[in-house]
């Protein structure tokens, strides 16, 4: 990439990711993921899997599920739709890289700067999640991923380890609001 | 109210948006000789049953799928939920 004088900022407009330690819960902003959305074209499901499965190492995940692969994560976001994620350092132009792979079997849209990601880690996250969304969080197992409302924000919730390690994707333009919601809930359960 | 999503399991009705009678899927053929009357009926005439009603719900804050929900309008009991795409295919549509 060419050198330029612009200073990169995180979604919370800082130089470095914000880390909050509240009781046994750690909330960390994760600015290091490139995100692209994938929407299969009508009737091309098998063609898409044929092109993408060798690259990913396994099939795209089914409804309500995420797959964590070597350096890529895939999340089911709707019927025939997925989010793909990879370290931004490895894929500075991720949507273009994915489009090259899936060709005309799917539409790919760059999503990297549309989202803020908070990784939430703790011994027991169920009381926190129960305060902010109406999912049955105790029934979520490793690799479950779903979209739901957190207050007024449509967010993706990815369960990396049941009750202990989750990632929350929220709209980047509301990053500070989502951060406030998470910190407030964490303080109330700490 | 809880809607038992066919793919994602029980979800709160807060995540959904209600559209109306599931007959909206059966859009008349605009090339038919009776198209004017058919579209009049399609747009303006609705049954308003006190009891079982098939209706369209959109999972806006979830996976953005359209569902056909069979709901009792007097008790809010939901007896059946299916993807609108499945329902439409059964009516002979291709998607």
Both A127 and A90 in one domain: the answer is no
In chain B, residues with a C-beta closer than 8 Å to the C-beta of A63 are: 7-8, 63
pLDDT digits (tens, 9 = 90+) for A76-100: 999 999 999 999 999 999 999 999 9
Domain end among A110, A136, A161 = A110
In chain B, residues with a C-beta closer than 8 Å to the C-beta of A79 are: 7, 63, 65, 83, 85
CB A147 within 8 A of CB A156: yes
In chain A, residues with a C-beta closer than 8 Å to the C-beta of B7 are: 63-64, 79
Say which of A42, A81, A147 has its CB closest to residue B62.
A147
Q: Cβ of A148 and B15 within 8 Å?
A: yes
Domain end among A93, A110, A127 = A110
Both A70 and A40 in one domain: the answer is yes
Q: Cβ of B63 and A136 within 8 Å?
A: no
Identify the structural domains of chain B with CATH numbers, from first to last: 1-25+49-95 (3.30.2270.10)
Q: Chain A: give the shortest CA distance to residue B38, in Å.
A: 29
- Mean of pLDDT values over A161-171: 95
Q: Cβ of A148 and B9 within 8 Å?
A: no
Both A117 and A25 in one domain: the answer is yes
Q: Chain B: give the shortest CA distance to residue A80, in Å.
A: 10
CB B21 within 8 A of CB B47: yes
- Mean of pLDDT values over A136-157: 94
pLDDT at A2 over 70: no
Q: Please, is A16 exposed, middle or buried when counting C-beta atoms within 10 Å of its C-beta (0-12, 13-18, 19+)?
A: exposed
pLDDT at A4 over 80: no
Q: Is A17 helix (H, G, I), strand (E, B) or coil?
A: coil
Say which of B11, B12, B63 has its CB closest to residue A79.
B63
- For chain A, how many residues are written? 190
- Mean of pLDDT values over B69-85: 96
Beta bridge partners of A65: A144
Both A25 and A63 in one domain: the answer is no
Residue in B64, B67, B85, B88 to test binding to A, most A beta-carbons within 10 Å: B64
- Within a domain: A80: yes
Which residue bears the tokens 């549309």?
A114
Both A120 and A180 in one domain: the answer is yes
- What is the model's pLDDT at position B91? 82
Both A71 and A103 in one domain: the answer is yes
- Within a domain: A2: no
How many domains in chain A? 2
Domain end among A84, A110, A136 = A110
Quote the CA–CA distance of A85 and A28 in Å, as a whole number.
Answer: 17
CATH code of the domain covering residue A51: 3.30.70.1400
Quote the CA–CA distance of A67 and B86 in Å, as a whole number.
Answer: 26
Cβ-based contacts under 8 A for chains A and B:
37
Which residue bears the tokens 């998470």?
A182
Both A123 and A105 in one domain: the answer is no
pLDDT at A3 over 80: no
Q: Chain B: give the shortest CA distance to residue A182, in Å.
A: 19
ipTM: 0.86
- Pick the residue from chain B with its C-alpha nearest to A156: B62
Both A119 and A183 in one domain: the answer is yes
Mean pLDDT estimate for chain B: 93
Both A66 and A105 in one domain: the answer is yes
DSSP sequence for A112-141: GGGEEEEEEE-S--HHHHHHH--S-GGG--
- Within a domain: A11: no
User: Quick one: three-class SS letters along B42-75?
Assistant: HHHCCCCCCCEEEEEEECCCCCCCEEEEEEECCC
Q: Cβ of B64 and A148 within 8 Å?
A: no
Angle of helix A45-56 relative to helix A94-102, nearest 10 degrees, comes to 120
Sheet holding A153-161, edge to edge: A19-22, A25-29, A115-121, A165-171, A153-161, A145-150
- Within a domain: A88: yes
CB A160 within 8 A of CB A168: no
Give percent of chain A with pLDDT exceeding 90. 88
Confidence of residue A1 (pLDDT cuts 50, 70, 90): low
pLDDT at B58 over 70: yes
How many angstroms separate the most distant Cα atoms in chain A?
A: 50
Beta bridge partners of B89: none
Mean pLDDT estimate for chain A: 94
Q: Is B26 helix (H, G, I), strand (E, B) or coil?
A: coil
- Give the range of the structural domain holding residue A87, as residue numbers without chain letter: 33-110
* Single pTM value for the model: 0.90
């Amino acid at each position: 990439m060419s050198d330029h004088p612009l200073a990169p900022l995180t979604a919370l407009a800082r130089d470095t990711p914000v880390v909050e330690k509240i009781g046994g819960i750690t909330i960390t902003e994760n600015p290091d993921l490139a995100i692209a959305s994938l929407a299969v074209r009508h009737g091309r499901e098998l063609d898409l899997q044929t092109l993408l499965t060798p690259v990913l190492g396994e099939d795209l995940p089914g409804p309500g599920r995420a797959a964590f692969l070597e350096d890529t994560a895939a999340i089911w976001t709707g019927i025939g739709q997925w989010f793909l994620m990879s370290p931004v350092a490895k894929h500075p132009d991720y949507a273009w890289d994915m489009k090259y792979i899936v060709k005309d079997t799917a539409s790919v849209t760059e999503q990297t700067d549309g989202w803020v990601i908070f990784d939430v880690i703790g011994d027991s996250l169920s009381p926190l999640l129960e305060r902010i969304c109406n999912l049955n969080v105790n029934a979520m197992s490793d690799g479950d991923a779903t979209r739901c409302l957190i207050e007024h924000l449509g967010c993706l919730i990815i369960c990396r380890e049941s009750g202990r390690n989750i990632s929350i994707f929220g709209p980047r333009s509301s990053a500070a609001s989502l951060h406030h919601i998470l910190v407030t809930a964490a303080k109330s359960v700490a | 109210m809880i809607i038992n999503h066919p793919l994602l399991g029980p979800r709160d009705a807060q995540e959904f948006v209600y559209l109306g009678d599931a007959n909206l899927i059966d859009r008349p053929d605009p090339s038919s000789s009776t198209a004017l009357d058919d579209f009049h009926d399609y747009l303006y005439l609705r049954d308003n049953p006190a009891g079982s009603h098939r209706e369209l719900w959109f999972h806006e804050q979830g996976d953005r799928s359209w569902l056909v929900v069979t709901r009792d309008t007097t008790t809010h009991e939901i007896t059946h939920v299916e993807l609108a795409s499945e329902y439409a295919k059964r009516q002979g549509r291709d998607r």
